[in-house]
Amino acid sequence: MEGVDHLAHERQKAQFDVEEMKVVWAGSRHALELSDRISRLVASDPAFRKDNRTVLSRKELFKNTLRKAAYAWKRIIELRLTEEEAARLRFYVDEPAFTDLHWGMFVPAIKGQGTDEQQQKWLTLAYKMQIIGCYAQTELGHGSNVQGLETTATFDPKADEFIINSPTLTSSKWWPGGLGKIATHGVIYARLITDGQDHGVHGFIVQLRSLEDHMPLPGITIGDIGMKFGNGAYNTMDNGVLRFDNVRIPRDQMLMRVSQVTREGKYVMSNVPRQLVYGTMVYVRQTIVVDASCALSRAVTIATRYSAVRRQFGSQDGGPETQVIDYKTQQNRLFPLLASAYAFRFVGEWLKWLYTDVTQRLQANDFSTLPEAHACTAGLKSLTTSITADAIEECRKLCGGHGYLCSSGLPELIAVYVPACTYEGDNVVLLLQVARYLMKAVSQLPSGKKPVGTTAYMGRVEYLMQCRSDVQRAEDWLKPNVVLQAFEARAARMSVACAQKLAQFSNSEEGFAELSPILVEASLAHCQLIVVSKFIEKLQQDIPGKGVKEQLEALCSVYALHLLHKHSGDFLSTGTITAKQASLANDQLLSLYSKVRPNAVALVDAFNYTDHYLGSILGRYDGNVYPKLYEEAWKDPLNEYVVPDGFHEYISPMLKQQLRNARL
Amino acid sequence: MEGVDHLAHERQKAQFDVEEMKVVWAGSRHALELSDRISRLVASDPAFRKDNRTVLSRKELFKNTLRKAAYAWKRIIELRLTEEEAARLRFYVDEPAFTDLHWGMFVPAIKGQGTDEQQQKWLTLAYKMQIIGCYAQTELGHGSNVQGLETTATFDPKADEFIINSPTLTSSKWWPGGLGKIATHGVIYARLITDGQDHGVHGFIVQLRSLEDHMPLPGITIGDIGMKFGNGAYNTMDNGVLRFDNVRIPRDQMLMRVSQVTREGKYVMSNVPRQLVYGTMVYVRQTIVVDASCALSRAVTIATRYSAVRRQFGSQDGGPETQVIDYKTQQNRLFPLLASAYAFRFVGEWLKWLYTDVTQRLQANDFSTLPEAHACTAGLKSLTTSITADAIEECRKLCGGHGYLCSSGLPELIAVYVPACTYEGDNVVLLLQVARYLMKAVSQLPSGKKPVGTTAYMGRVEYLMQCRSDVQRAEDWLKPNVVLQAFEARAARMSVACAQKLAQFSNSEEGFAELSPILVEASLAHCQLIVVSKFIEKLQQDIPGKGVKEQLEALCSVYALHLLHKHSGDFLSTGTITAKQASLANDQLLSLYSKVRPNAVALVDAFNYTDHYLGSILGRYDGNVYPKLYEEAWKDPLNEYVVPDGFHEYISPMLKQQLRNARL
Ligand SMILES: Cc1cc2nc3c(=O)[nH]c(=O)nc-3n(C[C@H](O)[C@H](O)[C@H](O)COP(=O)(O)OP(=O)(O)OC[C@H]3O[C@@H](n4cnc5c(N)ncnc54)[C@H](O)[C@@H]3O)c2cc1C
Ligand SMILES: Cc1cc2nc3c(=O)[nH]c(=O)nc-3n(C[C@H](O)[C@H](O)[C@H](O)COP(=O)(O)OP(=O)(O)OC[C@H]3O[C@@H](n4cnc5c(N)ncnc54)[C@H](O)[C@@H]3O)c2cc1C
Ligand SMILES: [Ca+2]
Mark which residues 330-349 of A lie under 8 Å from B by CB: 330, 332-333
The pLDDT > 70 percentage for chain B reads 99
What are the residues whose beta carbons fall under 8 Å from the beta carbon of B317, sequence distance 6 or more? Answer: none
* Mutate-to-test residue for ligand 1 from B300, B329, B330, B629, highest number of ligand atoms within 8 A of CB: B330
- In a 3-state reduction of DSSP, which class is residue A618? coil
Q: Is the CB of A101 under 6 A from ligand 1?
A: yes
Q: Is the pLDDT of residue B534 over 50?
A: yes
Active centre residues of A (catalytic): 424
Question: For residue B58, how far is the Cα from the chain centroid?
Answer: 24
Confidence at residue A519, expressed as pLDDT on a 0 to 100 scale:
98
A463 in contact with B, Cβ within 8 Å: no
Instruction: Check residue A2 and give its pLDDT.
Output: 57
Counting one residue from chain A and one from chain B, the pairs whose CB atoms sit within 8 A come to: 400
Instruction: Tell me whether residue B550 is one of the annotated catalytic residues.
Output: no
Quick one: closest CA in B to A397, which residue?
B422
When the pLDDT of each residue in chain B is averaged and rounded to a whole number, the result is 96
Residues in chain B: 664
* Region of residue A129 (left: phi > 0; alpha: psi -120 to 50; beta: else): left
Of B20, B349, B394, B424, the active-site residue reads B424
Report whether B597 contacts B555 (CB < 8 A): no
Which one-letter amino acid corresponds to residue B561?
L
Residue A556: the pLDDT is 98
Which of the four pLDDT bands, split at 50, 70 and 90, describes residue A74?
Answer: very high
CA distance B598 to B561: 20
Higher pLDDT, A318 or A635: A635
Q: Looking at beta carbons, which residues of chain A come within 8 Å of B401?
A: 138, 143, 175, 419, 422-423
What angle, 0 to 180 degrees and rounded to 10, lies between the N-to-C axes of helices A548-566 and A328-363? Answer: 100
Q: pLDDT tens-digit profile of B47-71? A: 999 999 999 999 999 999 999 999 9
pLDDT the model gives residue B245? 98
Contact A630 B241 (CB under 8 A): yes
Instruction: Give residue-wise pLDDT tens across range B277-307.
Output: 788 888 999 999 999 999 999 999 999 999 9
Nearest to A633 by CA among A647, A617, A612: A617
Measured at the CA of A11, the angle between CA A6 and CA A13, to 5 degrees, comes to: 125
- Is B422 within 8 Å of A397 when comparing Cβ atoms? yes
Contact of B147 with B209, CB cutoff 8 Å: no
Distance CA A303, CA A309 (A): 10
Give the closest-approach CA distance of A527 to chain B in angstroms.
18
A59 touches chain B (CB under 8 A): yes
Rounded to an integer, the average pLDDT of B557-561 is: 99
Beta-carbon separation of B224 and A636 below 8 A: yes
Which residues are within 8 A (CB) of A75 and not within 5 positions of it... i.e. 6 or more apart?
A: A41, A45, A81, A89
Burial B86-107 (b: 16+ CB within 10 A, else e): bbbbbbbbbbbbbbbbbbbbbb
The interface pTM score, or ipTM, of the predicted complex is: 0.98
If you average pLDDT over residues A463-471, what whole number do you get?
Answer: 97
Distance CA A425, CA A433 (A): 10
Give dist(CA B552, CA B332) in Å, integer. Answer: 17
* Residue pLDDT, tens place only, A195-218: 999 999 999 999 999 999 999 999
For B77-132, write each residue's pLDDT tens digit. 999 999 999 999 999 999 999 999 999 999 999 999 999 999 999 999 999 999 99
**pLDDT tier for residue A1 given thresholds of 50, 70 and 90:** very low
- Of the candidates B6, B11, B13, the one whose C-alpha atom is nearest the C-alpha of residue B623 is B6
Residue B468 has pLDDT above 80, yes or no: yes
Q: Ligand 1 centroid to B312 CA: how many Å?
A: 10
**Mean pLDDT, residues A227-242:** 97
Sketch out chain B's domains with CATH numbers: 108-272 (2.40.110.10), 278-605 (1.20.140.10)
| pLDDT tops 90 at residue A271 | no
- CA atoms lying within 13 Å on the CB side of residue A69: 30
The residue contributing the CA closest to ligand 1 atom 17 is A423
pLDDT, tens digit (0-9, with 9 covering 90-100), for B470-503: 999 999 999 999 999 999 999 999 999 999 999 9
Sign of the Cα torsion A538, A542, A548, A549 reads positive
Closest among B149, B180, B142 to B165, alpha carbons compared? B149
Query: Which protein residue's CA is at the shortest distance from atom 5 of ligand 2?
Result: B176
Grade residue A329 by pLDDT with cuts at 50, 70 and 90: very high
Tens of pLDDT, residues B152-184 = 999 999 999 999 999 999 999 999 999 999 999
- The answer to whether the CB atoms of B327 and A231 lie below 8 A apart is no
Q: Is the dihedral of CA A173, A178, A179, A184 positive or negative?
A: negative
How does pLDDT run across A500-515, given as a tens digit for each residue?
999 999 999 999 999 9
Residue B138 CA to residue B199 CA, distance in Å, equals 18
Q: Counting beta carbons within 10 angstroms of the beta carbon of residue A243, is it exposed (0 to 12), middle (13 to 18) or buried (19 or more)?
A: buried
Q: Which chain A residues are Cβ-neighbours of B640 within 8 angstroms? A: 59
Q: Is the pLDDT of residue B1 over 60?
A: no
Q: What share of chain A is helix, strand, coil (3-state, %, to 5)?
A: 60, 10, 30
pLDDT > 60? residue A87: yes
pLDDT tens figures, B317-375: 678 999 999 999 999 999 999 999 999 999 999 999 999 999 999 888 898 889 999 99
State the Cα–Cα distance between residues B536 and B220, nearest whole angstrom: 53
Say whether A634 and B55 touch across the interface (CB within 8 A): no
3-state SS, residue A350 = helix
The pLDDT assigned to B2 comes to: 58
The number of the ligand nearest the C-alpha atom of A426 reads 1
**B659 neighbors A73 (Cβ within 8 angstroms):** yes
In whole angstroms, give the CA distance from residue B58 to residue B64.
10
d(CA B90, CA B94): 7
Q: How far is the CA of A621 from the centre of ligand 3 (A)?
A: 27
Measured in angstroms, how far is the CA atom of residue A424 from the centroid of ligand 1?
8
A229 C-alpha vs ligand 3 centroid, how far in Å? 15
Closest CA to A139 of A56, A201, A92: A201
Contact A404 B418 (CB under 8 A): yes
Choose from A63, A71, A404 for mutation: most chain B CBs within 10 A: A404
For ligand 1, atom 9, which residue shows the shortest CA distance?
A176
Residue A640 neighbours by CB under 8 Å, 6+ apart: B59
Cα separation of B202 and A384, whole Å? Answer: 48
